[in-house]
Structure 1
Amino acid sequence: MKSLKLLIFCCMTAACLSAGIPDSSDIKSGSPAESPSDDGVFVKRDEASALVRQKRAGAAPADLSLAQLESLREVCEANLACEDMMDTSGIIAAYTAYYGPIPF
C-alpha cells in the first residue's frame, strides 16, 4: 500500500513538473505568472459536469470486497424471498430490494 502511495505521489510530481507550474523560486524572483484563463485548466461548470461522471449514491458491485459481498449474502439467506431473488437477480439487487441501501 505504501508503494502505491509513493507511485501516485511520483506521478503527480512528474505531471506538475511537465506542466510547467512555477515553483516558489519563480514566484519570488518576480517572473510573470499566467492568468488562470490562459492556461486552460479551468472550465465552466456545465462542461465539467458533462465530462466528469459523478459517483452514484449506491455502491457498485466492483466497489465491494468479497468479505462484504459474503456478509450481504448471509443476511439475504435468512429470508427465503431474498434468497430466491439473489439467485436470479444478484446479491446487490436482492439486498437492496429487501433491506434498503447497502450499509458500507
Structure 2
Amino acid sequence: MKTLAVLVLCSLAVVCLTSDASTGSQPADNPAQEGLFVEREQASTVVRQKRAAGELTLTQLESLREVCETSEPCDEMMDTQGIIAAYTHHYGPIPY
C-alpha cells in the first residue's frame, strides 16, 4: 500500500514538472515579453542612483579630506568653502 502511494505521488510530480517545462520552452512572439525591456519607472528603481553630496558617510568625507590635504590650494579652499566644493574643484566629481 505504501509503495502504491509513493508511486502515485512520484507520477504526479513528474506530470507537474513536465507540464511546466513544456509551456516555458515556447518562444515568445514579442521580445518585450522575454524580459529584455523594462519600464522606465522599474529601471530607475533597479539602477543605482548617484547619491547627493549630503549623503556621504563620515568615513567617505574623511577620505576626501585626506586627499585634499595633500594639495595646498585644495586644503585652503577646504577651510573656506568646505570639503565637497574643494574636492570637486580640484579633483573632479566625487567617486562614490
TM-score normalised by length of structure 1 = 0.43
Structure (1 or 2) with the larger CA radius of gyration = 2
Looking at secondary structure, tell me which structure has more helix per residue: 2
